[in-house]
């Protein structure tokens, strides 16, 4: 059985890792732009609760750069993510990279 001190240290290390990840995510230029644009409707609790959504968004390529479908680095090949707020949650939709425009709303909602 683990000693209590060992468990506490593990928990503190975990908290430090989470804080490091959070700092990286919220300092990402695209995430930062979203957070600033939606400042009035977001809370710190929402950001903490949906940190995984922001992390997934951060790790995706947001703009189509002409690459071949097979070389697409995104989770859903040929598509780009877009963050939005719905019912006090941060979510993202996935749009076809080739046809995404301000009028295209045929999105695959993933969060």
Tell me what pLDDT residue 60 has: 80
- The C-alpha atoms of residue 45 and residue 89 are separated, in whole angstroms, by 10
Q: Which helix (H) or strand (E) holds 79?
A: strand 79-86
- The C-alpha atoms of residue 56 and residue 62 are separated, in whole angstroms, by 11
Sheet containing strand 89-96, edge to edge, reads: 79-86, 89-96, 108-109
- Per-residue confidence at 109, pLDDT binned at 50, 70, 90? low
Tell me what pLDDT residue 19 has: 92
* pLDDT tens digits, 52-93: 999 999 988 776 667 777 777 777 777 888 999 999 999 999
Does the global pTM surpass 0.75?
A: no
Kindly tell me if the per-residue pLDDT of 104 is higher than 60. Answer: no
| Structural domain boundaries enclosing 44 | 4-109
* pLDDT tens digits, 23-63: 999 999 999 999 999 999 999 999 999 999 999 999 887 76
Tell me what pLDDT residue 101 has: 42
Number of domains the chain contains: 1
């Amino acid at each position: 059985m683990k000693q209590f001190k060992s468990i506490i240290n593990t928990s503190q290390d975990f908290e430090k890792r989470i804080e490091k990840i959070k700092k990286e995510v919220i300092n990402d230029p695209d995430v930062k732009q979203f957070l600033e644009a939606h400042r009035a409707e977001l809370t710190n609790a929402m950001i903490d609760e949906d940190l995984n959504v922001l992390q997934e968004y951060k790790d995706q390529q947001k703009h189509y750069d002409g690459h071949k479908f097979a070389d697409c680095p995104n989770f859903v090949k040929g598509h780009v993510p877009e963050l939005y707020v719905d019912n006090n949650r941060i979510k993202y939709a996935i749009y076809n990279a080739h046809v995404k425009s301000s009028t295209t709303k045929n999105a695959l909602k993933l969060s």
